[in-house]
Structure 1
Amino acid sequence: MPKIEAGSVHEHRAQRLAQLIDAAEAILNEDGVQSLTAGAVAARAGIARNSIYRYFDSIEDLLELVVTREFPAWTTAVEDAIAAETTPQARAAAYVRANIEQAARGTHGWRASLSRGSLSDRVRQRVRELHGALHSALEGVVAELGSAQPELTTAVIQAVVDACIRRIDQGGDPEEAASFAVRSVHRLLAPDAG
């Protein structure tokens, strides 16, 4: 049995998988997807090449792990921000701000770029499903608002978020983008805006 470097086999596997994902992220950031090979990841992580397949079946699976790595924390941050507010309008603003804050943490741009160009259909579908959880949170907020056009309201709020995240990905100021987005959503939801 291989020597484990943690308190349990489960902890060891989790640590090793994190090392492999970290190594893949470093390769992707420095050299791009064309340089992401099993050998490169194993060398970067400091383990034998054949050992990496204990943690995933293919480079495509590793790409999925890289691209989806931040979704659980992102979704939790957004849901927590929404739950901390007491009015539907404040929850809508919290949804907007929390998404932009998560994007501003620095890795969204290259992950989104990778998602657009280098993933299989199966992995793209997984990314869509994970985005669906965020979309569901927004739909819940819009339902509370009692909008006469909930689908359109949801789409417009999400479009504002997406535009501001793109701005951040291109080097824009996160606080400026968040402030703009929150003001835009407040105007959209103002009772006399219709």
Structure 2
Amino acid sequence: MPKIEAATVRAHRAKRLESLIDAAESILAEQGVESLTAGAVAARAGIARNSIYRYFSSIDDLLELVVTREFPSWVAGVEAAIAAEPVPEERVVAYVRANLEQAASSTHGWRTSLSRGSLSESARERVRALHVSLNEALVHAVADLGVEQPELTVSVIQALVDSSIRQIDSGASAGEVSRFAVNATRRLVHTETT
């Protein structure tokens, strides 16, 4: 039986998977997607090449893990920001602000470019499903407002968030973009609820 490097087998597997994702990210950042091979990842992580397939079934699966790596903490940050607000209008604003804070503090732009150019269609579909699940937080926040056109309100706010994130990913000042988006959201929410 191979020696594990953690207190439990589960912890060992989690640690090993993290090291494989770290290795893949390093290769992608330094050499690009063309250099992401099983052999290169295994060598960088310091394990046998055939061992990496215990953690994922293909390089495309590993690339998907790289693209979605920050997603759980992103969702948790957005959900916590919404939950901290007792007023419905401020929950919607919190959704916008928290998404932009996450975009500014992460490697979202880099991961998005990987997603667009390097993932298989099925992997891109799974990434889209993750984004839809995040959007559910906005749907619930808008429902609490009691506006006449909740679907349209969600669409407009999400379009504002998406556009603002693209601006941040392109190098615009996160603070300026966030201030603009938050103010625009407040105006929209105020108009819709009066």
TM range (shorter): over 0.9
Query: CA, structure 1 residues 86+36, in 2 after alignment: closer, same or farther (shift >3 Å)?
Result: same
Paired residue for 1:178? 178
1:148 aligns with 2:118: no
User: What's the counterpart of residue 50 of structure 2?
Assistant: 50
* Structure 1, unaligned runs of 5 or more: none
CA RMSD in angstroms, aligned pairs only: 1.4
AA of the residue aligned to 2:124: R
TM-score with structure 1 setting the length: 0.96
Report matched runs for 1:150-165 at 5 Å: 150-165=150-165
Match of 2:120 in 1: 120
Aligned to 1:12: 12
Farther off after superposition, 61-70 or 91-100: 61-70
Q: Give 2:137's aligned residue.
A: 137
Aligned length: 194
- For residue 189 of structure 2, what is the aligned residue in structure 1? 189
Query: Contact 1:187/1:193 (CA < 8 Å) preserved in 2?
Result: no
Q: CA deviation at 1:149?
A: 1.3
In the TM superposition, residue 193 of structure 1 has moved relative to its aligned partner by: 8.7
Structure 1 stretch displaced more, 112-121 or 13-22: 112-121
Could you tell me which residue of structure 2 aligns to residue 169 of structure 1? 169
Q: Percent identity?
A: 65
1:84-141 CA-partner distances (Å, limit 9, x unpaired): 0011110011000110111111310011111111111211111111111111110101
Provide the rounded CA distance (Å) in 2 between the counterparts of 1:108 and 1:192.
31
In structure 2, the CA distance between the partners of 1:192 and 1:62, relative to structure 1 (3 Å rule), is closer
Q: Which residue of 1 aligns with 2:61?
A: 61
Does residue 1:85 correspond to 2:85, yes or no?
A: yes
Give the Cα–Cα distance (whole angstroms) in 2 for the partners of residues 34 and 24 of structure 1.
12
Counterpart of 2:97 in structure 1 is 97
1:40 is matched with which residue? 40
CA distance in 2, matches of 1:40, 1:192: 54
The runs of 5 or more residues in structure 2 that have no matched partner are: none
Amino acid at match of 1:122: S
What secondary structure sits across from 1:130 in the alignment?
helix
